[in-house]
Structure 1
Amino acid sequence: MAFLRVPGPPFFFCMFLIMIPMMTKSAMNDADALLRIKQSFNNPLYLDSWKIGTRPCDEVRNWVGLVCGNGIVTTLRLKSLNLSGDIDMFALSQLQGLRVLNLVNNSFSGPIPEFNKLGALKAIYLSMNNFSGVIPSNYFTKMVSLKKIWLDNNNFSGPIPSSLAKLPRLLELHLNDNKFSGLIPSIGVQSLESLNISNNNLTGDIPSSLSRFDVGCFEGNPGLCGSKLGRLCYSVVPTPPPPVKPHHESLKIAYMLMGVTATIFAATIIAIFVLVQKRKKEEDEQMRKFDGSFGSSPSEKEHDSDSQN
């Protein structure tokens, strides 16, 4: 008789060990998430208050750089703390109540992190860092709650992301002092109150949807044009293709080319014939001169002598 063997305690113990990291990962609270974020910074010298055993949103003393509401972190304000490194984006995404991210005036570099995974953000301030590279055109597609975006004084390049034009609640947009290039997207949202895209490498006309902003918002872009800047926009007129000639004219030209070709061919044949004849005549003349230079042959002399006798 066969018996079904039930896994013993070692089996369940092993499974429990495997599940612990998964349970910890899914149940990470604000304190755990912030401590992991701190570990991802290269110079967290000013974050000494972020310690195990204390509460981020303590009623007496909050951790440095935090703003809380109802015991939940809503703002991460890490301004001018000389921070750098690769931000732990998973830990940052665990701050469920986070609405404002402020990393102004630090030393972060490289491509923009995946802040677009924080779909509930209302404001993001990344000014005065060393972020660089191209921001994908669809980067802001899912960040529909954003109201304020400050990316100025970095080294971003490439086109301004077109997804910015689709943010329905956008109030402030500061992209100045970067290396953005290409055309300005048509940001038509009427809620936009503050705009600065000066000192970039932008080109083309200023969209009519942004014409209400002061000219200073666009200065420092030599390639921009339009009545607002007092520079006309010259469009390149393409060179029209040559007109198609009627069919009968094409045939006429073809016949003319054939006639010219035949004439040249006939003239070439005649010239070759004349040269051959001339060459032959010269050779005959030379042969006659060659024979005369040696006089009569001996047999001819004997014939002459016999005739005289």
Structure 2
Amino acid sequence: MHSLITLFYLFFYFTFTFSSSTNSTLHQDAVSLLSFKQYADQNNKLLYTLNEPYDYCEWQGVKCAQGRVVRYVVQGLNLHGFFSPDTLTRLDQLRVMSLRNNSLFGPIPDLSPLVNLKSLFLDHNNFSGSFPPSIIFLHRLITLSLSHNNFTGLLPVQLTLLDRLIILRLDSNSFTGPLPSLNQTGLKVFNVSANNLTGPVPVTETLSRFKPALFSENPGLCGEIIHKQCAHRSRFFGSNATAPLSQSEESQGIVVVPSSSKNEKNHKKTGLILGFTVTVAIIAVFTVIAIALIKKQNTRGKSKSPETETENPPAAVMEVRTEVQTDTKVKKMEEAHRSGKLVFCCGEVQDYTLEQLMRASAELLGRGSVGTTYKAVMDSQLILTVKRLDAGKTGVTSGEVFQKHMEIVGRLRHPNLVTLKAFFQAKGERLIIYDYQPNGSLFNLIHGSRSARAKPLHWTSCLKIAEDVAHGLAYIHQVSSLIHGNLKSSNVLLGGDFEACVTDYCLAFLTDSSFTEDPDVVAYKAPEVRKSNRRATSKSDVYAFGVLLLELLTGKHPSKHPFLAPTDLQDWVRAMRDDDVSEDNRLQMLTEVASICSATSPEQRPAMWQVLKMIQGIKDSVSMEDIAPTGLS
């Protein structure tokens, strides 16, 4: 079994990552370029035709090495259109991409497949949307220019992970919020002027080298580097509470909702209890929260919180800290969570309060291993998902550790992760607020109603969902030291476009590992975790992904999966489906990926980014098979 797994993994790794001589690979690059032109060149400035296999290497702006596109420079050509997904992003040998000085618009697609990219020039266009989060995946990047566009939103703190950057230009956009603590030793060219950045400029050795003009036209920026004194901290922390410039809550991407006066709070809470129109169970849940807050407000100043803050954060939390926590900072965080405030994550807009959230009509969505989940509809018609953590399962973590952990998790942003918007804690109560996903869970999609016979999804749907989930998990593993820890089909939700989005990520750290779990949940657990009290690892996530993929392919819950050798596993999966014989090869490749991921030994399992490459390789091979009969001329 071990030899089969090893051979298959090597086959995928070399075939889909480094192959450079097959016609399929040559055609793949040509198709990628033609697809890009279709959407981005509405004025027909690029005259691309393909009569011979290598013609595309002679096209304008294209440079090849051994038949693969390694450089694509089409700047100043008045290209008008948008950068469509699954076009240039398939050029996985690309080193340089320059689309500068054109009229391209819209958001930037997922660039994470461009693992070899070193230089990215997208400046002087009309691109919009938030900072492309997939850029954080491009670990070989040395030049990044996004200046003179219409980008908005926060700059991710994970920019600090791009440690090879030499050139970083983000000027003339509409970026908001704090400037990350950039300290790349090799950074030589830098500009963030003409944005809407706010807060103190972090005092790092790297940023201290640059002139104040490179930070100019950001009215909200302050600090010693730009010779502008920062104002005192928010009055909600007290008029004399000031922190070092690089250690403010703003630099952590956290917004704390202030409390109202005592009388106003009591009035609102009374209205809350009287006006809450939901089922009896849900009324009870939120009433408990309201009573706890009222008691805490009435007894503040008379006694200290009985909560003991003695537990030290684990190594995983410590490793992803981007700044040193001072005694002042810790004290402020304690004040924030002890007074029961709603904390918004990573620049999320503060457009509702805790009281408004508790007045929302609520619908029970389900109960899981971490807590109970509700759909909350606000008076403003904003819909949120609220998870109430089970105190019996998560009470082992102290308030301070919970606060720090959720701040870190709240910074994770990816199209295949359900957005964590805010969190709340008071004595005995912890809530986590997510974006609402309208199309239910993957569990419901696979298994349907209990009365209906489950029918496996079409293999193309399996492939798409598997790629989405792999993207989300790979992102968590690569930009942090965190893991999901509780992957299962009910924790994969379907968004507005039926994209798969992973939820409940990184919450397993908060649970008591000694708690006896549902047997159905245990089926996703890796053997090394299931048979001991060991914490889950990234390889445990890979195992759960393999089990999930088999669930996708067969329509059978993991508790009903037999333990089979890889060759027998193929026969079992085939028996569970009614695909045409023509689909057998594709089905076999997906089953092999599931088999590799669910290997008994964690050392035999690939990393999540390697699993993603395997799935993308299958997707690319399928695309080439689809176009092969008609050719490319």
**Short-chain TM bin:** 0.5 to 0.7
Give runs of aligned pairs for residues 104-119 of structure 1, distance below 5 A: 104-119=100-115
Distance between the aligned counterparts of 2:153 and 2:199, measured in 1? 15
Equivalent residues of 1:164, 1:187 under 8 A apart:
yes
Aligned residue for 2:247? none
Aligned residue for 1:153? 148
Structure with higher Rg: it is 1
Give, as a single letter, the amino acid of the residue that structure 1 aligns with 2:75.
K
What does the per-residue CA deviation read over 1:185-236, in whole Å, with 9 as the maximum and x for residues that have no partner? 0011111111000011111111112111111110111111112322111222
Runs of 4+ residues deviating >6 angstroms: 23-27
Distance between the aligned counterparts of 1:244 and 1:174, measured in 2? 50
What does the per-residue CA deviation read over 1:161-205, in whole Å, with 9 as the maximum and x for residues that have no partner? 222111121111000000111110001111111100001111111
Equivalent residues of 1:38, 1:44 under 8 A apart:
no
**Selected match of 1:51 from 49, 52, 55:** 49
Equivalent residues of 1:165, 1:185 under 8 A apart:
yes
Aligned residue for 1:302? none
Equivalent residues of 1:195, 1:213 under 8 A apart:
yes
Equivalent residues of 1:57, 1:71 under 8 A apart:
no
Deviation at 1:46, TM superposition (A): 2.6
Deviation at 1:24, TM superposition (A): 9.2
Equivalent residues of 2:105, 2:127 under 8 A apart:
yes
**Selected match of 1:92 from 75, 88, 92:** 88
Equivalent residues of 1:199, 1:219 under 8 A apart:
yes
Aligned residue for 1:37? 36
Aligned residue for 2:229? 232
Equivalent residues of 1:175, 1:196 under 8 A apart:
yes
Distance between the aligned counterparts of 2:86 and 2:161, measured in 1? 26
Distance between the aligned counterparts of 1:159 and 1:94, measured in 2? 27
Distance between the aligned counterparts of 2:56 and 2:105, measured in 1? 29
Give, as a single letter, the amino acid of the residue that structure 1 aligns with 2:39.
S
Equivalent residues of 1:28, 1:94 under 8 A apart:
no
Distance between the aligned counterparts of 1:133 and 1:33, measured in 2? 23
What does the per-residue CA deviation read over 1:4-23, in whole Å, with 9 as the maximum and x for residues that have no partner? xxxxxxxxxxxxxxxxxxx9
**Selected match of 1:77 from 68, 73, 76:** 73
Distance between the aligned counterparts of 1:116 and 1:173, measured in 2? 18
Distance between the aligned counterparts of 1:87 and 1:225, measured in 2? 36
In proportion to residue count, which structure has more helix? 2
Deviation at 1:36, TM superposition (A): 2.5
Give, as a single letter, the amino acid of the residue that structure 1 aligns with 2:208.
S
Change (3 A) 1:160 1:56: farther
Aligned residue for 1:204? 199
Distance between the aligned counterparts of 2:62 and 2:302, measured in 1? 77
Equivalent residues of 1:139, 1:163 under 8 A apart:
no
TM-score using structure 1 length: 0.63
Residue 176 (1) aligns with residue 171 (2): yes
Aligned residue for 2:386? none
Any unmatched runs of 5+ in structure 2? 1-21, 240-296, 304-633
Give, as a single letter, the amino acid of the residue that structure 2 aligns with 1:98.
L
Give, as a single letter, the amino acid of the residue that structure 2 aligns with 1:220.
E
Change (3 A) 1:96 1:182: closer
TM-score using structure 2 length: 0.32
Change (3 A) 1:235 1:73: same
1:36 counterpart SS class: helix
**Selected match of 1:195 from 190, 198, 206:** 190
Equivalent residues of 2:102, 2:125 under 8 A apart:
yes
Change (3 A) 1:159 1:245: closer
What does the per-residue CA deviation read over 1:54-89, in whole Å, with 9 as the maximum and x for residues that have no partner? 43466xxx2111223344321111101222333343
2:137 counterpart SS class: coil
1:235 counterpart SS class: coil
2:127 counterpart SS class: strand
Change (3 A) 1:27 1:214: same
Deviation at 1:244, TM superposition (A): 4.7
Distance between the aligned counterparts of 2:219 and 2:140, measured in 1? 33
Aligned residue for 1:128? 124
Aligned residue for 1:215? 212
Change (3 A) 1:244 1:144: closer
Equivalent residues of 2:83, 2:108 under 8 A apart:
no
What does the per-residue CA deviation read over 1:243-299, in whole Å, with 9 as the maximum and x for residues that have no partner? 9589xxxxxxxxxxxxxxxxxxxxxxxxxxxxxxxxxxxxxxxxxxxxxxxxxxxxx
Give, as a single letter, the amino acid of the residue that structure 2 aligns with 1:100.
V
Distance between the aligned counterparts of 2:199 and 2:127, measured in 1? 25
Seq. identity, %: 36
Give, as a single letter, the amino acid of the residue that structure 2 aligns with 1:204.
G
Equivalent residues of 2:124, 2:148 under 8 A apart:
yes
Distance between the aligned counterparts of 2:128 and 2:97, measured in 1? 18
Which structure has more relative contact order (CA 8 Å, sep 6+)? It is 2
Change (3 A) 1:193 1:56: farther
User: Which moved further from structure 2: 64-73 or 219-228?
Assistant: 64-73
Change (3 A) 1:57 1:71: farther
Give, as a single letter, the amino acid of the residue that structure 2 aligns with 1:78.
V
Distance between the aligned counterparts of 1:239 and 1:96, measured in 2? 53
Aligned residue for 1:63? 59
1:35 counterpart SS class: helix
